[in-house]
């Protein structure tokens, strides 16, 4: 069960986020932060459940909507931004990546005010549209220590294996 679904304001846009933190608050010991983006970019996607359940015991987990996805979707622009065959994809993905960088900075700053997160141990896991949006983004620009883009065809099992490897890297 998620701790909460919340909305943050990012450059005039509302960012919907599913947050799990096992009751952590700003006075708790600092934990890693992992931000997760699913295939369809929607923070309420059912495919996130297995990954969020695996991550929650050892870190704070945030699953926001991608730009132009979930509550922020647009019938015309979403398809154009994430369909590599569309003529506008390159231009729109450039804008999506800039918005994504802003989203992450605001999300991390907001969570740092209300949750004990260790900014030196932050990561992004993305697949599908998430991986497409993160392609060619420098993690440092977003304020995270690493970005892991999984294959779009990844399964729950392979995602869980990746979560175990990520835990070893962030907790080490």
- pLDDT-based confidence at 165, cuts 50/70/90? very high
Architecture of the structural domain at 4-171 = 3-Layer(aba) Sandwich (3.40)
Name the residue with higher pLDDT: 83 or 115.
115
Reported as a single tens digit per residue, the pLDDT across 63-114 is 998 888 888 888 778 777 777 777 777 788 888 888 888 889 888 988 888 8
Residue 167 has pLDDT above 70, yes or no: yes
| % residues pLDDT > 70 (the chain) | 96
Residue 161 has pLDDT above 90, yes or no: yes
Reported as a single tens digit per residue, the pLDDT across 5-41 is 678 777 667 788 888 888 777 788 899 999 999 888 8
Structure confidence at residue 113 (pLDDT)? 85
Structure confidence at residue 54 (pLDDT)? 93
Residue 4 has pLDDT above 60, yes or no: no
Sign of CA dihedral 93, 66, 152, 117: positive
What is this structure's pTM? 0.88
Name the residue with higher pLDDT: 169 or 97.
169
Q: First-to-last CA distance in the chain?
A: 27
Structure confidence at residue 3 (pLDDT)? 46
Reported as a single tens digit per residue, the pLDDT across 118-150 is 999 999 999 988 888 887 788 888 889 999 999
């Amino acid at each position: 069960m998620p701790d909460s679904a919340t909305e943050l304001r990012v450059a005039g846009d509302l960012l919907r986020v599913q947050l799990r933190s096992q009751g952590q608050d700003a006075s708790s010991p600092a934990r890693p932060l992992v931000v997760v983006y699913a295939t369809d970019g929607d923070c309420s996607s059912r495919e996130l459940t297995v990954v969020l359940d695996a991550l929650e015991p050892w870190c704070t987990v945030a699953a926001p909507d991608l730009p132009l996805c979930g509550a922020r979707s647009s019938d015309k622009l979403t398809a154009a931004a994430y369909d590599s065959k569309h003529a506008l994809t390159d231009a729109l993905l450039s804008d999506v990546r800039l918005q994504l960088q802003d989203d992450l900075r605001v999300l991390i700053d907001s969570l740092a005010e209300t949750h004990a997160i260790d900014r030196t141990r932050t990561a992004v896991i993305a697949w599908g549209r998430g991986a497409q949006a993160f392609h060619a983004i420098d993690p440092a620009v977003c304020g995270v220590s690493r970005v892991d883009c999984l294959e779009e065809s990844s399964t729950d099992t392979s995602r869980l294996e990746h979560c175990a490897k990520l835990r070893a890297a962030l907790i080490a």
